[in-house]
Structure 1
């Protein structure tokens, strides 16, 4: 058994201890691996006996060693004391048995102990310091910076194995290697799979769920092969479903219209190769056969009237009319004086002038590039703001 202690100057110390050995084993007292004094077997006793050793030590750290003549010998040591005014006394007990080693140290009522056998080592103390790398069967490591690495085991309600973290009921799996979160059913099949880009969701069932506190979302996709969305369960037509982004539909897009004498009927959308908006109205030429039709200013802000737009006329009487002039804010109709007519204008939607019968894959790639560019822009802005905050903080600290 070893004891480490430090002296602040060259000095003389007296080491006092009590020992007992049923086998009367010989004992060597060493300081820093050098034998200071041997105690022969004839000096040992089965009863407790006090021994002392006088030593002269240089300034620095030293180690006291109690070494028996045989590792299998039984020796009991207790009440180890170092007599010196500047050295605080301690009380220790060492039991060296054939199958284990037991040591106990007490100081000011605080006790620490180490029990070691071939099967296990038990340590009991108010504070345990590990300096260096601690490894347990390559599954658990305490690193030198105080952090830890665990590749197998149980942590709270989670199981760690092969780099994957699972809840104890196996219903939730975190897979950092593939950037995935899995929700499993009772058969351990992935019923829902989440990824950073949101493209891997197997299926989702929401029954009467509440979103945002007021709106309700109900999804029904069973044997009917259809999905229905409701923002509430009212049926008065006053509620709204809002979608931010592109909507792509395979099949028809229709509105359900109620009739007084017939059942609900479907009215379908008018589709064009390029996204367009339309407006319509009626007018009348003056005595000179001229009518100027202004484009609604509010409607004008939703379209690009700087690009060629189309005007369709329908006369409502005898005579003739035609479109004589088209400007960004109005168009001019000429023809038979005092002739009533109806008109319709179709214009390309603002900011969508470049779209025409786009390939679906090409459009998705362009949208992804736009999203990535926005993310990069946000990162750059965040970095600039963070650097600015750091510089301002440094300037404030320097001024103080």
Structure 2
């Protein structure tokens, strides 16, 4: 059985349109095992110049025992000088069968589709927008893959609360493993011990491990704080030692330390090898080296104690580099010397150089040593805070030397050093 409803055709003639045709068609067709429903509308406009514009709209339903198909479409064509061109085309389809649902929407050359089966849902579209506060769950016994050229996530991103990307671009995570390189540009790494005195950083090499704890750094096997550092520790930039806990001092092993930057030591540093510094060394705490080679300056704000000799390397023309040993006194003394001649009145006033005077305590007393250039004696006839007077025969030449206590150390003399403590720190 078939039923068809057709409207009559009308013709228009106004403005630039010479003729206009419109038609509507509605049909219902039912045969055994199949039902078809069709509704269409079409229109043709013919302009006075002969060009035509054609519109059509169509909706249909096709149903049989295996599937149902619903379709809605519209199209526009233009016939210009005998050339038919599609201006716009749009179509939507829904196909249902017992195993899948397929949705497809197209407009001109843009197509999006959703295919759903019992096993999977496939969405194919240029843009996918999910809005609202709902929950999206992906459950799969296999592997879930997201493949896209560009993915842009706005706002807070979190994975089970364990991994978070904040809106300011920073990241929070409970744990992390990197199989490749981790590069940090700018800023700093800050470590916080949240569970007692456990290792905060463990660096595993081919043969050794490095452990950074809350108060010390260890190389080699983990043991008591202060394990030896194995081999030469080479630092290409600045290095800073601030370990000042009695069990957390830094100690360098048989290879010593080599640095090309500034070395800043604010705690205790024990070095059992050759230490090479190519820049300035600042020492605010204690340094226990076996040997130091420094091409820059060594700046020490505390006391310098050496159990061996103190010498200065001097280059000679014919005998290589030789050492000149320091002159030691029981008390910290500074000295200066010079040459003068007794004037016509039998005296000469020797001013203590102002800069040198601010490094010593002349009010505490000082010592003058004279050496005449002849058999004529010379002597100190007066000592003042800023100068002293030497007397003798007019014209007598002599050398003089002054020694005075270092300012601030006037009462220091033969201090006792606990060598047992030093040896303990060197072990």
* Smaller-chain TM-score bracket: 0.3 to 0.5
Q: Which has the higher relative contact order, 1 or 2, with Cα contacts under 8 A spaced 6 or more apart?
A: 1
The higher radius of gyration belongs to: 2
Choose between structure 1 and 2: higher strand proportion.
2
So what's the TM-score if we normalise by structure 2? 0.44
